[in-house]
Every structure is written in C-alpha cells, then in structure tokens.
Amino acid sequence: MQLFLNLVLLLEICLIGAFSCVNLFIFLLFFEASAIPIFLLMVYCGSDRRERLKASYYFLFFTLYGSISLLLVIINNYVLHQIQFLSSFLVVNSYSL
C-alpha cells in the first residue's frame, strides 16, 4: 500500500509539472518522467503477473515511440521556424507596442 501511494504521489507531481510548464523542453521532460511511475504501477500493482508485465512493456514501448516523434516535431519547429528550443508556448512571437 505504501508503494502504491508513493507512486501515485510521484505521478501527480510529474503531471502537475507537465501541465503547468510553459516550456517545450521542460514539458517533454515531465512527460517522460510521468511514464516511470505509471510503468512501476503497472508492474507492481496489477492483477495477473504475466499480463501486467506484457501490458507495462507495451505501454513503455508506445510511450517512448510517441515521445520520440514529439521530440522530432519540436526539433523540426526549431529548424524550420527558427524558434528557440527553450521558448515559451505563450510568447513565441511577441511584439511590443
């Protein structure tokens, strides 16, 4: 029970960090960090050992595959549009009066 609560707390911290940041790179880091507690929750707190290991490895594989494509999109935006890699979501093209 203690492991479950600690993993849920760690997952909550990662998700709050991911949804409250305004930086693409930090968002990607928190997004990847949130996969670790979910993976451990699936491995240690599942019902059937064989099925939970299979499901957790599928989850890890597809999450990493999705994050690699997200990283490629971020790099593509940097190369094509000359947007700073650590730029904000909100203030990409700000103009002062």
Tens digit of each residue's pLDDT (9 = 90 or more) over 8-59: 999 999 999 999 887 788 888 998 999 999 999 988 887 788 888 899 999 9
Would residue 86 count as lying in a domain? no
Q: Decide if pLDDT at 92 tops 70.
A: no
**Per-residue confidence (pLDDT) for residue 7, from 0 to 100:** 93
Would residue 90 count as lying in a domain? no
Would residue 35 count as lying in a domain? yes
> Residue 17 is part of which domain span?
2-81
Hey, how many other C-beta atoms are within 10 angstroms of the C-beta on 68?
10
Q: Which residue has the higher pLDDT, 22 or 5?
A: 5
Would residue 94 count as lying in a domain? no
Q: How many domains does the chain have?
A: 1
Closest CA to 7 of 38, 28, 43, 35: 38
Q: What is the CATH number of the domain that holds 61?
A: 1.10.287
**Per-residue confidence (pLDDT) for residue 30, from 0 to 100:** 92
Would residue 33 count as lying in a domain? yes
Q: Based on the number of CB atoms within 10 Å of its own CB, is 40 exposed (0-12), middle (13-18) or buried (19 or more)?
A: middle
